[in-house]
Amino acid sequence: MRSSFLAAAALISCTFAKTFEYDILADQGFANLKLHVSQKGFPSPETCTWENVAKRREWSRLTRAEKLDYIGAVQCLGRLPARTPASVAAGARSRYDDLVVTHILQTYYTHGNGNFLSWHRYYMWTYEQMLRNECGYKGYLPYYNWAWWAEDPASSPLLDGSDTSISGDGEFVPGRNATCVPNPKSCYQIMVPGTGGGCVTSGPFKDWKVNLGPITSRDTTVPPNPSPDGLGHNPRCIKRDLSVQSALEARDEYITDLIKDSANISAFQDTFQNPNYERLSVHLGGHNIISGDAGSDFFNSPSDPFFWFHHASVDRTWWIWQNQDIDSRRFTIAGTLTFMNNPPTRNATLDDIMTMGEFVGGSNITVANASSTLAGPFCYVYE
Ligand SMILES: *[C@@H]1O[C@H](CO)[C@@H](O)[C@H](O)[C@H]1NC(C)=O
Ligand SMILES: *[C@@H]1O[C@H](CO)[C@@H](O)[C@H](O)[C@H]1NC(C)=O
Ligand SMILES: *[C@@H]1O[C@H](CO)[C@@H](O)[C@H](O)[C@H]1NC(C)=O
Ligand SMILES: *[C@@H]1O[C@H](CO)[C@@H](O)[C@H](O)[C@H]1NC(C)=O
Ligand SMILES: *[C@@H]1O[C@H](CO)[C@@H](O)[C@H](O)[C@H]1NC(C)=O
Ligand SMILES: [Cu+2]
């Protein structure tokens, strides 16, 4: 049987005439995972084996029908009523918004801390389950491979503005200033304006309503939220400002360095997330590929459907890193409970409970439950 790597390399080489080291690491990692399972068994053999494992694929590898199925399911979440009561978030108008609210409410306890990777693994999976169980989606969570499109994200099938994209760039707004990332107080990188700046004008999400935020958007032209916590109703278009500068911060070389040079979970999660004067970090680089209103907002980023494609790649990158050395990288944790340990909190543990909140629903899981994509509630791999 031809290995998936050879098949993938052949496909990639005819599409791009280029092989990405990131994908080679992914394939080596997957081979390690298969060997590990053949020697030591599946982590949860009663619920997850190669017979039923889901395969998450890059958007460009979905057929037209699969893309339309996905897009329709996201729009369905955008139409279904919210379960979050107005007393919690008056701006939550859809089932999709329930997910945004839980991210906003938990931002300080799920980023720059011990459960960033595990909580987002669980969050991505929860969204995937909602698409499937509440909106009839037949496929699995697709991702956006940063490395493939780093030189020109607008040419990616995800962001090209076609009817099988998630809409593309915003309308070009001239005369804008550069802005600091992550913010003017910590100006690690000066981001020049991208090629958009206004509302998306074509594709399936041109009429989508962003209801919540802004909270910490770099786009200061967005009308403020009626509520200071950003949870009030503030309906508006999706604004994007595609940025090659940011996309290049998540290029093959940088992702590969992140995976290869991070000897432990502490180095991996910190290098992944923390900007410095040399590099924006792959996590921030990926978010700011679309920049704009929601795209640059630490709290409200899930309001733009690009979020899920980016964070599926965050999860894939963690999966690749774990697969390089499964025995030592599965049950490992570093960091505290709070963002940059502010305010100071105890160290996170594998027994900590993570929640999607009462209104998204689903059962709580522990950090340990999220230590493998073949264990806990999960059963998937990345192709
Ligand atoms: C750009 O920055 C200059 C100098 O700070 C300021 O005067 C101007 O109003 C800014 N323009 C925009 C569109 O924000
Ligand atoms: C983690 O690895 C980094 C290098 O990637 C190293 O500098 C650091 O000392 C290690 N930390 C621990 C706690 O082992
Ligand atoms: C928390 O973790 C750090 C880094 O691993 C360690 O140095 C420290 O002793 C831990 N604190 C407690 C209270 O266990
Ligand atoms: C889930 O965890 C949250 C926060 O720890 C807690 O408030 C809630 O009661 C838990 N839900 C269930 C069903 O155990
Ligand atoms: C999570 O881990 C706990 C403790 O090991 C276990 O009892 C529970 O079944 C796990 N949950 C899932 C969904 O696998
Ligand atoms: Cu997040």
Question: Domain coordinates of the chain in residue numbers?
Answer: 2-382
- pTM of the predicted model as reported, rounded to 2 decimal places: 0.95
Which pLDDT score is estimated for 18?
79
Q: Reply yes or no on whether the pLDDT at 13 is more than 50.
A: no
Distance CA 108, CA 124 (A): 18
The ligand that comes nearest to the alpha carbon of residue 103 is 6
Amino acid in position 73: A
Which pLDDT score is estimated for 17?
57
- Tell whether ligand 1 has an atom less than 6 A from the beta carbon of residue 330: no
Amino acid in position 357: G
For 102-120, the pLDDT digits (tens) are 999 999 999 999 999 999 9
If you take atom 13 of ligand 4, which residue's CA is the nearest one? 363
Q: Closest Cα partner for 71 from 146, 148, 142? A: 142
Distance CA 330, CA 314 (A): 16
Q: How many residues appear in the chain?
A: 383
Which pLDDT score is estimated for 161?
98
> Span 56-85, mean pLDDT?
98
Contact, 156 vs 149, CB < 8 A?
Answer: yes
For 214-247, the pLDDT digits (tens) are 999 999 999 999 999 999 999 999 999 999 999 9
Amino acid in position 107: T
- Tell whether ligand 4 has an atom less than 6 A from the beta carbon of residue 353: yes
Q: Checking DSSP bridges between strand 380-382 and strand 54-56, what pairing results, if any?
A: parallel
- Tell whether ligand 4 has an atom less than 6 A from the beta carbon of residue 358: no
- Tell whether ligand 5 has an atom less than 6 A from the beta carbon of residue 362: no
Reduced to 3 states (helix: H, G, I; strand: E, B; else coil), residue 162 is coil
Reduced to 3 states (helix: H, G, I; strand: E, B; else coil), residue 181 is strand
Ligand 5 atom with the smallest distance to the CA of 44 is 14
Select the CATH number that applies to the domain covering 2-382 from these four: 1.10.150.110, 1.10.10.60, 1.10.1280.10, 1.10.730.10: 1.10.1280.10
Distance CA 307, CA 240 (A): 12
Distance CA 321, CA 263 (A): 10
Ligand 3 center–CA 347 separation, angstroms: 6
> Span 44-70, mean pLDDT?
98
Q: Reply yes or no on whether the pLDDT at 8 is more than 70.
A: no
Distance CA 161, CA 169 (A): 7
Q: Closest Cα partner for 199 from 146, 142, 240, 139? A: 240
> Span 183-188, mean pLDDT?
91
Q: Closest Cα partner for 88 from 364, 363, 359? A: 359
Tokens of 36: 């590990």
Contact, 354 vs 122, CB < 8 A?
Answer: yes
Q: Reply yes or no on whether the pLDDT at 284 is more than 60.
A: yes
- Tell whether ligand 5 has an atom less than 6 A from the beta carbon of residue 48: no
Cα 135–chain centre separation: 20
If you take atom 9 of ligand 1, which residue's CA is the nearest one? 177
Q: Reply yes or no on whether the pLDDT at 301 is more than 70.
A: yes
Distance CA 191, CA 288 (A): 9
pLDDT band at residue 362 under the 50/70/90 scheme: very high
